């Protein structure tokens, strides 16, 4: 894959993560002030975690860190969990968050798949030195 394609994927992922973080923050606020706040504790917590992970992923992507693809992989997992939880609630902010999370999942998985570096197998190095 060319550098230009990677750059376009990274930009799309950054935008999706930013959109998701904003939606998650709005969801957390909405859940905390809702008359049903007690029943919305789980989406509130997940939205906060998801927003934090999205912001951290953006930071690593912007810096061009080699570990960014690992953050994208973890971000996609957290966003998917958040989306599944938020999708179960009738609150409009929760529904909006679920959609933003799934867009982020899609973009983060693209980065993780394209940039994935196979894990180092340290067990063979340990056996050789023994």
What is the model's pLDDT at position 127? 40
The structural domains of the chain, ordered by start, are 3-129 (1.20.1270.360)
Half-sphere exposure for 70 (CA within 13 Å, toward CB): 6
**CA pair distance 29, 49, nearest whole angstrom:** 13
pLDDT in tens, the chain (130 residues): 445 558 899 999 999 999 999 999 998 888 777 655 555 667 678 999 999 999 999 999 999 877 888 899 999 999 999 999 999 888 888 899 999 999 999 999 999 887 664 444 444 444 444 4
* Predicted TM-score (pTM) above 0.85: no
Predicted local distance difference test score (pLDDT) of residue 39? 56
- Rounded to whole angstroms, the Cα distance separating 32 from 77 reads 24
């Amino acid at each position: 894959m060319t550098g230009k394609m990677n750059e376009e994927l990274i930009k799309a992922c950054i935008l999706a993560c930013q959109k998701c973080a904003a939606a998650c923050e709005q969801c957390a606020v909405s859940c905390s002030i809702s008359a049903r706040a007690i029943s919305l504790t789980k989406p509130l917590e997940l939205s906060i975690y998801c927003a934090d992970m999205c912001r951290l992923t953006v930071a690593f992507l912007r810096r061009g860190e080699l570990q960014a693809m690992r953050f994208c992989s973890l971000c996609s997992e957290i966003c998917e969990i958040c989306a599944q939880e938020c999708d179960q609630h009738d609150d409009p902010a929760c529904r909006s968050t679920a959609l933003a999370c799934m867009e982020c999942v899609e973009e983060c998985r693209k980065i993780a798949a394209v940039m994935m570096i196979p894990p180092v197998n340290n067990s063979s190095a340990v056996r050789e030195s023994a």
